[in-house]
Chains A and B, each alone.
Chain A
Amino acid sequence: MEKQPIVELRQLSKTIGKKKIIDNLNLQLYPGQITGFLGPNGAGKTTTIRMMAGLMRPTSGEVFVEGQSVTEHFEETMSKVGVIVENPEMYKYMSGWKNLLHFARMNKSVTKERITEVVEQVGMQNRIHEKVSKYSLGMRQRLGLAQALLHRPKFLILDEPTNGLDPAGIREFRAHLRKIAIEDGVSVFVSSHLLSEIELMCDRIAVIQNGQLIDIREMNQVEEAHYYIEAQPAEQARELLTARGLSLEVSGAGFITKVEQEKIPELIHLMVEANIQVFAVQPYRKTLEDQFLEMTGGGQIAESHTK
C-alpha cells in the first residue's frame, strides 16, 4: 500500500440546485487494485463516476490522475482513463469495428493492429463487422469493454459493468478484469448494485451513502476469524463457551462467535469432555451484504440487490 495512488479524489463535492449530491469525497485508487464502489440507489455513485470521467464539473474539489487535475489537464488525464458509464451506448447504425475505429481516432496512439488485438481479447472477432443494433446486450458490454481498453488505460472506470451478462459472461469478465489489474497494473474502479459481484471481484470496497463516503475497507480484512458452532444441548454449550469469554450470536441451530483459529481444537476438546455433542465447527464468513446492511442501516439496498 506504499504505492503512489493513480487516481485521487480530493474534497470532491457536487451541488445541483440546492441539493448536495456529493459531499466532500476523498478517495485514493492504487495500481493493480480493483476497488468496488457500493451504495444504495441515489447515493451519488453515478455522479461521482461522471465527475471522474470528465462528464460533469465538480462544484468544488478535484479529481487527480497521476497528480494532474482532470479539469485543468483534460486531454492528458483522459488519455489514461478508460470509461464505461452505465450501458455502453454505441452507434447502433454502425458495425462494432467502425465504432472502435471511431473511438480509436480520438486517441493519438491507437493503431489498427491494436483494435484487432482488443477485439480478440474480448472474443468478438467473429461478429465485429455486424451492426451493433444486431448485438445482444452481452455483446454490447463486451464491445463497451473493448472501447475502454483501446488506449491501454492506467485507470478503468466501470459503472454497472455486468449488467446484462449471463453467468458465464460475468465469470469471464471477472477473470478479464483480474488479468488486466495484475498483468498491466491497471487500477479498476467498479460500481455495482450486485453485492455478491463486488465481493467476488474486488480487493477493496468504498461505500457511499447520501453523498458521503462512509467506509473504505480491504476485502481480506473482511475475513476475520468467525466460526459457526453447532452443538447439543445448546444451553450447555452456550454456558461453556461464554465461560471461556466468547460472545455468541445465535444463528439458526448454532452460534457464531469470534475466535482465533488456534483455540478451536481446545474448544472442541472441552465440549467433548463435557459430553456435549458437536455437530459442526466451521469458519464463518460474513457476507458483504450483511456488512453492507450494517453499515448503511439496512433497508435501501434490498430492492436494488434483486436487479
Chain B
Amino acid sequence: MLNLIRNEWMKLWHKKATWIMTIILVIMLIGIAGIMKWATSNMQQAEETHSWEENLAENQAMLKAELSNPNIGKAEKESLEEELALTEYRLDNNRAPLDPNSRESYVVNSHSMLSMVTLFVVIAAASIVATEFSQGTIKMLLSRPVKRWKILTSKYLTSILFALFLIVVAIVSTIIAGYLFYDSSGGSLLEYKAGSVVEISYWGRVLTLYGLQFVGVLIYTTFAFMMGSVFRSSSLAIGLSIFLLFMGPNVVFFLSRFEFTKYILFTHTDLTGYITGNMFIQGISMPFSIAVLAVYVLIFLVISYWSFIRRDVTA
C-alpha cells in the first residue's frame, strides 16, 4: 500500500496543474492579505481611535439599555446577557479583545479562505481516477498483480494527503502574511460556557477552526472522488463537483424553512458555524452534523468502490 501511495504522489507532482495550484494558493493568500491591509489602512486614517476600554464601556451601556426593554424575546435576552457577561468580564479582569487589525485576528478569521483549498483539492480528487481512464493508462494500472480495491484506496488516501498538504500550506502562508502585514496586539479570546465566562487559548481556537474546515474539505474531496470514479471523465467530474460546491450552500439557504434541510449534505459542510455562531439552520447540533456527514461519506465511498471494482475497463 505504501508503494501504491508513493506512486500516486509521484504522479500527482509530475502534473503541472498541481504545482500551479499550490503556487496560486500561496500567492492568493499572501496577496489578499496585502490588499486588505492596504484598503483598511486607507479607510482608517480619518477615524479617531478609541481605546478598547472606552469601546467596551459604551457597548456595555448599550446592552444594559436593551435588556431593560420588557418586550424582547427569551432567546434574544439570553444572547444579550451572554454578551454582557463577556463584556463585563473583559472590563473587570482587564482582558483586551483581539484587535480586528491585528495579526492574531487576521489568522483566526482567515479560516474561511480555505474554500480555495477545497476548490483545488476537488480538482485533484476528481481527476485522480478519471485521468487514468481518459489517458488510457488505466489498462496498464489494472493489469498488475494488485487488487482493484487497493489501487482505489491508495488514490483516495493520496487525495486526502494532498488536502492535508494544501491546508498546511494555507496555514503557513496565512501566518506569513500575518507577520508581513499586521502587528501583534495581544488580547484574549473568551467564551461563555455553562453560565460562566472562560478564557480559551488562542492557538487552540485557530486549530479548532482549521480542523473543522478540514472536515468540510474532506467531504468535498470524497464527493469529487466519487464523481471521478463513476463518470471516468475528469472534466465532467470537476465541473459537477464545483457546481455543487457553489450551489449547495445557496440551495440550503433557500430551503432553510423546510424540516428536511437538516438532512441535506450542504447544511453540514461548514462546521465552523458552531464555533463562530453563524449556523442559520435551527435545531441541529455538532454530533448530529457529524453523524449526517459520516453517512454521506459512507455512501460516497460505497458508490466509488462499487463502480471501480465491478465495472469493465473499456477505455
Give residues in A with beta carbon < 8 Å to B.
50, 53-57, 74-79, 81, 83, 85-94, 98, 101-103, 105-108, 147, 151
- Contact between chains at A90 and B312 (CB < 8 Å): no
Given A75-B146, A89-B139, A89-B140, are A106 and B14 also a contact pair (CB < 8 Å)?
A: no
What are 18 inter-chain pairs, A to B, with CB distance below 8 A? A50-B314, A54-B142, A54-B143, A56-B314, A57-B312, A75-B146, A77-B145, A78-B143, A83-B139, A85-B139, A85-B140, A91-B14, A94-B11, A103-B140, A105-B3, A106-B7, A106-B141, A106-B144
Among A78, A85, A90, the residue within 8 A (CB) of B145 is A78
When each residue 125-141 of chain B gets 1 if its CB lies under 8 Å from chain A and 0 otherwise, what string results?
00000000001110111
- Contact between chains at B136 and A89 (CB < 8 Å): yes
Among B142, B144, B312, B313, the residue within 8 A (CB) of A107 is B144
Chain A residues with CB under 8 A of B146:
75, 78, 106
- Contact between chains at A55 and B143 (CB < 8 Å): yes
Give bound CA distance, A276 to B6, whole Å.
79
- Contact between chains at B140 and A55 (CB < 8 Å): no
Chain A residues with CB under 8 A of B144:
78, 103, 106-107
Chain B interface, >50% SS class: loop
Give bound CA distance, A151 to B141, whole Å.
14
Closest to A159 in B: B139
Instruction: Mark out the residues of chain B between 146 and 161 whose CB falls within 8 Å of any chain A CB in the assembled complex.
Output: 146-147
Given A75-B145, A89-B140, are A94 and B4 also a contact pair (CB < 8 Å)?
A: no
Say how far B138's CB is from chain A's closest CB, in angstroms.
8
The tally of CB-CB contacts under 8 A between chains A and B is 81
Say how far B232's CB is from chain A's closest CB, in angstroms.
14
- Contact between chains at A105 and B7 (CB < 8 Å): yes
Say how far A20's CB is from chain B's closest CB, in angstroms.
15
B10: interface (CB < 8 Å): yes
- Contact between chains at A90 and B143 (CB < 8 Å): no
When each residue 11-47 of chain B gets 1 if its CB lies under 8 Å from chain A and 0 otherwise, what string results?
1001110000000000000000000000000000000
Interface centre among A50, A86, A106, A147 (most CB of B within 10 A): A106
Shortest Cβ-Cβ A-B pairs, 9 listed:
A89-B136, A79-B145, A78-B145, A55-B313, A105-B3, A106-B144, A56-B312, A83-B143, A53-B143
Give bound CA distance, A108 to B4, whole Å.
12
Give bound CA distance, A87 to B273, whole Å.
52
Interface centre among B15, B143, B314 (most CB of A within 10 A): B143
- Contact between chains at A55 and B145 (CB < 8 Å): no
Given A78-B145, A106-B145, are A98 and B140 also a contact pair (CB < 8 Å)?
A: no
- Contact between chains at A94 and B143 (CB < 8 Å): no
Say how far A289's CB is from chain B's closest CB, in angstroms.
30
- Contact between chains at A107 and B137 (CB < 8 Å): no
Closest to B131 in A: A91
Chain B residues with CB under 8 A of A87:
136
- Contact between chains at A93 and B14 (CB < 8 Å): yes
Among B6, B16, B142, B312, the residue within 8 A (CB) of A105 is B6
Among B11, B142, B145, B314, the residue within 8 A (CB) of A91 is B11
- Contact between chains at A74 and B147 (CB < 8 Å): yes
Say how far A66's CB is from chain B's closest CB, in angstroms.
13
Give bound CA distance, A239 to B314, whole Å.
59
Among A55, A102, A103, the residue within 8 A (CB) of B312 is A55
- Contact between chains at B10 and A55 (CB < 8 Å): no
